Chain A
Amino acid sequence: MEHTAQICIQISGYAQAVLALWILLRCALSMLQEKYEPEVWAYLELPGGSSRAIHHWECILGRSHASDIVLAGQAGVDRSHAALRRDDHGQWTVWDLGSREGVFVNGQKIQRQAPLNDRDELRLGQASLHFMALSDQQRNTLQRNRAEPGRRVAPGGTMFLLTLFQLLILTQHLLSAQATYRQAVGLSFGVLIALEWVCYFFMRSLSVKGFEPETVAFFLTSVGFSVAASSVPENMVKQCFLLIGALGLFLALGWWLRDMGRVRALRWPMGAAALGFLGLNLLLSEAIWGAKNWLSIAGHSLQPSEFVKIAYVYAGAAPLDRLFRKRNLLMFIVFSAVCVGALALMGDFGTALVFFCCFLVISFMRSGSFATVFLALSGAGLAGMLVLTVKPYVAQRFANWGHVWEDPTGAGFQQVRTMTATASGGLFGHGAGNGWLEDVVAADTDLVFGVVCEELGLITGMVCILAVLLLAFFAVRNAAAGRSSFHVIAACAAVSIMMAQLALNVFGSLDILPFTGVTFPFVSRGGSSLISCWALLAYIKAGDTRKNASFALSNVSRKLRGRAVRKEAGKS
């Protein structure tokens, strides 16, 4: 019997590694390989008589090659002269970006901004252009001809593989779990599988066909469920409720991001919320494992800093018209400094570092200036030195870095065990629930990569890392066809937070970086972390402009079709 179970676990280990790779490959093929056909929103007739399609809701007109519509060789045109912006209802606005010679609509010089309608004459300096809005019919035709995701790699097939993957892990758990927990573990995986299919069919019912980012997140969440089932099988029911909450926030935030008007309205409150959370944290929280970042409410502990991430990205990303104002960037830098400083005060240097990485990405995307980044880096370097002198335990971690094998029972305790477990698991692991690293303190959060590698194998561990990187490559690729800079910046900021956490978590526990104790996105156990990861995924979703790919983007073609149907009905 013992022997049979052993062989079952071994075979399911191979199968599960193959499935993990296959799921990743299918998601990657569909997320990175599918041809991008940019949306067309309007045309501009140029002075020579040629015309140029407008692919974004925000674009810049100017002499510079970095402009979306390049007006080379035209007298009186600035490098970045004007911006065009479309709102959610199809109304276009032109913005003067402080040009020398001004912007004229139908001969009228505009103050800062003016609405722009079909066939309006637009003059920048000496360049005269004509703005051609698309008729509903034209738009519909164009939209129909765009490729939909899922033609080449059907998301339903990937979901099926994911379900198999989850069932294999569940089987391994049932073979190794104590009898008292079998029911809870079985139930929780059942809920997980049910939730992902409900989510999938819900999207299908909205004719949303891009489901890969969710599949990736569900994959990582499954691995996280496996870790939780190993280390705290008694908490599995709670884990299910947390996932339901996380999915709820994901859908709500995604829906919220559909409307730029709504998005704009909430930027300042979000900034305030971020600071509020941190303030609350500083005043009320208690220190667990050196960092004062836990808040206990009615017996449940939560980490406010996780929610700050959501608010920080929201407040940090900016629509194009805000991008060109120095004051905005300055405000953002001050805001970021307060956030990072507050985290450092709490002693949560890992999270402070994660925010700082995100700050670097946002500030570079907003300013495009290496000088800003360089300045920020040197500032952070100085602050880091200060930290090392006033917080000796942080300095201690730096001293141990790279020398953990010299003190395997003391300062290197956790890292040495992570490395041992990782090597011991081999490529296919010893079977879910069949490890020993799970019994080490904080194994299911800080050392989670070791637990995954020991129980599910190095291949699955690597797939988890690559899955997060896949989201990053996806977000950056989407930037090319992003509707608004807000969405692009938010998506890139979200993936940079995930990657920074991933790097600190994995490499910290393997003694390649100093050990900081942040969570592995989606995989580390922890309610606050799970919820914030799913919320960050909403930003990535909002950057996906493939046809009918994202519920977080308003589906214009369907809206137009609806409008056309109503018109027909009105006529008859």
Chain B
Amino acid sequence: MKRIKRRAAAALVLAFLILAGLGYFLVRLAEDGASWAMYRANSSVYTNGILDCGILTDRDGLILARMGGGEHRYADDETVRISSLHAVGDFLGYIGSGALTVYAGQLAGYSFWEGTTAGGQTVALSLDADLQTAAWTALAGRSGAVLVLDYTTGEILCMVSSPAYDPNGEADTSLDGVYLNRCTGATFTPGSVFKLVTLAAALDTIPDLETRRFTCHQTLEMDGGTIRCTGWHGEQTIEQALANSCNCAFGELARELGPEVLEGYAQALGVAGSLTLDGVATAAGQFLPAEAGTADLAWSGIGQYEDLVTPYAMARLCAAIANGGQVQEPTLLLGQDNGLTQLLSAEAAETLGDYMNYDVVYSYGRDRFPGLDLCAKTGTAEVGGGATHAWFVGYLQSGAPLAFAVVLEKGGGGLIQAGAVANTVLQKASEIYSQ
């Protein structure tokens, strides 16, 4: 019997395998439970594939979407509905990056402890409906994106993408990329706003940068091409070169830095490659290293060539500059803390900030932005056929702690067009903050 007794333990091999399997299952459940529970077949929370519980509001409690009992309603105000379409998303999930899809787990009140909860939960977004309305109105039907975030908390206050449609009606699918959130889901040629990246690389890499003089005779001959500039800038400091957005100076810097250094900075600063917003990947920006010494390399440092960035990445970079080099990672949820990431050294951030302020004061004109203590950079990105994307990115260095990016798709000149939209939105935002 002693033998049999010993051998009986063999039956326990299976028992221990089951315990191990159970442990593995629990780990997976803890990791992936939210996404399992939010599969659209879960009829505790979905009815015919439509989330049927939860309330989504803006930062002030204004209802952006309400679901329950088979009824689905968006915001009452039409402009709020349209301007928030891409941030909020739609009930059917055509806009995959919308809050209704991304935060479905929170809306259904999912937790490991309780599972999904009947009736769902209220989820407050960090968006401000008034600011959304202001941005949408300022875009005035033009294609583009407006993104404003608080660089101290990372909360996104404004995220508007155009074209959009009233979700209470049918989508006009004849519009180009109507389901696309242009803030996070689309990339654009950056043009001169990319010079912030080139400059950040130069500040770290070239020791005598601030004492150097750059000469601009409107064109610069390079291997296999000519760099054209917007004007005859003569001799300038780096500060002046940025304010002039001088292509000759930045072409020269790009050639000196070389493709690898530029690529490294584009990636480190988040403008190349993919980022995440509340755990969801954004469209990936692009920086292709051009052959050393060629005009392509110079163009790549000026934000042309094959460069592509998302407005989200540009706003995030500006937020980092505003916040002493550390970015408080953005979020669309009120009160959510996604942590800090060091993008730049504090010194580089300070210098960049000073130069961006100099741009506004000496080049763009403070009159355009009354009452705003602005640091900014324009971009007028050539996209062929004479069309240009109008960019305006930057932040407020006092007053409301806001960083922003505005792009108008084939919208003309950066300062005149995008700058005006940014001004309208920032005026409104400052007003909201002062209350």
Give the B-binding residues of A (Cβ under 8 A): 6, 55-56, 58-60, 66-68, 320, 357, 360-361, 364-365, 368, 408, 416-417, 419-430, 435-436, 454, 457-458, 462, 465, 469, 472-473, 475-476, 479-480, 482, 485, 488-489, 492, 495-496, 499-500, 502-503, 506-507, 510, 512-513
Q: Evaluate contact between A465 and B18: CB separation under 8 angstroms.
A: yes
Assembled-state Cα–Cα distance A454/B43 (Å):
12
Assembled-state Cα–Cα distance A435/B24 (Å):
25
Which of B7, B24, B36, B114 is the one whose CB lies under 8 Å from A365?
A: B7
Q: Evaluate contact between B14 and A480: CB separation under 8 angstroms.
A: no
Which of A416, A435, A476 is the one whose CB lies under 8 Å from B39?
A: A416
Q: Evaluate contact between A479 and B8: CB separation under 8 angstroms.
A: yes
B25 within 8 A of A: yes
Which of A361, A426, A506 is the one whose CB lies under 8 Å from B113?
A: A426
Taking A6-B118, A424-B115 as contacts, is the C-beta distance between A507 and B4 under 8 angstroms?
A: no
A420-B36, A426-B112 known; 13 other A-B pairs, CB under 8 Å?
Answer: A60-B2, A66-B6, A364-B7, A424-B42, A424-B116, A426-B113, A426-B115, A472-B11, A476-B12, A479-B5, A485-B4, A489-B4, A507-B21
Q: Evaluate contact between A424 and B37: CB separation under 8 angstroms.
A: yes
Contacts of A417 in B (CB 8 A): 39, 41
Q: Evaluate contact between B111 and A426: CB separation under 8 angstroms.
A: yes
Contacts of B34 in A (CB 8 A): 423
Assembled-state Cα–Cα distance A513/B17 (Å):
12
Of residues 28 through 80 on chain B, the ones whose CB sits less than 8 Å from some CB of chain A are 29, 32-34, 36-37, 39, 41-45
Q: Which residue of B lies closest to A498 (CB)?
A: B14
Would you give 17 A-B contacts (Cβ < 8 Å), ordered by A? A66-B6, A320-B1, A364-B7, A364-B10, A416-B39, A420-B42, A423-B36, A424-B37, A427-B115, A436-B42, A469-B19, A476-B12, A479-B8, A480-B5, A492-B11, A499-B14, A503-B18
The interface residues of chain B, by DSSP majority, are classed as helix
What's the minimum C-beta distance from B33 to chain A, rounded to whole angstroms?
4
Assembled-state Cα–Cα distance A508/B240 (Å):
68
Q: Evaluate contact between B45 and A424: CB separation under 8 angstroms.
A: yes
What's the minimum C-beta distance from A369 to chain B, rounded to whole angstroms?
10
B140 within 8 A of A: no
Assembled-state Cα–Cα distance A63/B387 (Å):
98
B22 within 8 A of A: yes
Q: Which residue of B lies closest to A482 (CB)?
A: B1
Q: Evaluate contact between A67 and B2: CB separation under 8 angstroms.
A: yes
In the complex, per-residue mask of B248-262: 1 if CB is within 8 Å of any chain A CB, else 0: 000000000000000
Assembled-state Cα–Cα distance A395/B2 (Å):
43
Contacts of A422 in B (CB 8 A): 29, 36
Q: Which residue of B lies closest to A364 (CB)?
A: B10
Contacts of A56 in B (CB 8 A): 1
Q: Evaluate contact between A68 and B115: CB separation under 8 angstroms.
A: no
Give the A-binding residues of B (Cβ under 8 A): 1-12, 14-15, 17-19, 21-22, 24-25, 29, 32-34, 36-37, 39, 41-45, 110-116, 118
Assembled-state Cα–Cα distance A489/B7 (Å):
9
Assembled-state Cα–Cα distance A506/B17 (Å):
13
Contacts of A368 in B (CB 8 A): 3, 7
Assembled-state Cα–Cα distance A249/B116 (Å):
42
Assembled-state Cα–Cα distance A96/B45 (Å):
71
Which of B8, B9, B15 is the one whose CB lies under 8 Å from A469?
A: B15
Q: Evaluate contact between B18 and A427: CB separation under 8 angstroms.
A: no
Q: Evaluate contact between A421 and B42: CB separation under 8 angstroms.
A: yes
Q: Evaluate contact between A465 and B22: CB separation under 8 angstroms.
A: yes
Contacts of B14 in A (CB 8 A): 357, 361, 472, 496, 499-500, 503
Assembled-state Cα–Cα distance A426/B109 (Å):
11
Contacts of B8 in A (CB 8 A): 365, 475-476, 479, 488, 492
Q: Evaluate contact between B25 and A485: CB separation under 8 angstroms.
A: no
Taking A365-B7, A428-B114 as contacts, is the C-beta distance between A420 and B25 under 8 angstroms?
A: no
The list of the 8 closest CB pairs from A to B, nearest first, reads A426-B115, A479-B8, A423-B37, A423-B36, A423-B33, A56-B1, A436-B43, A426-B114
Q: Evaluate contact between A419 and B115: CB separation under 8 angstroms.
A: no
Q: Evaluate contact between B4 and A488: CB separation under 8 angstroms.
A: yes
Contacts of A479 in B (CB 8 A): 4-5, 8
B2, B32, B33, B37 pick with most chain A CB within 10 angstroms: B2
What's the minimum C-beta distance from A397 to chain B, rounded to whole angstroms?
18
Contacts of A429 in B (CB 8 A): 115
B1, B6, B17, B110 pick with most chain A CB within 10 angstroms: B1
Q: Evaluate contact between A430 and B24: CB separation under 8 angstroms.
A: no
Q: Evaluate contact between B118 and A430: CB separation under 8 angstroms.
A: yes
Assembled-state Cα–Cα distance A479/B9 (Å):
9
Q: Evaluate contact between B39 and A365: CB separation under 8 angstroms.
A: no
Assembled-state Cα–Cα distance A413/B36 (Å):
13
Q: Which residue of A lies closest to B1 (CB)?
A: A56
Q: Which residue of B lies closest to A470 (CB)?
A: B15
Q: Which residue of A lies closest to B14 (CB)?
A: A499
Taking A420-B41, A424-B115, A492-B11 as contacts, is the C-beta distance between A512 and B4 under 8 angstroms?
A: no
Assembled-state Cα–Cα distance A361/B8 (Å):
8
Contacts of A485 in B (CB 8 A): 1, 4
Contacts of A489 in B (CB 8 A): 4
Assembled-state Cα–Cα distance A458/B1 (Å):
40
Q: Evaluate contact between A473 and B12: CB separation under 8 angstroms.
A: yes
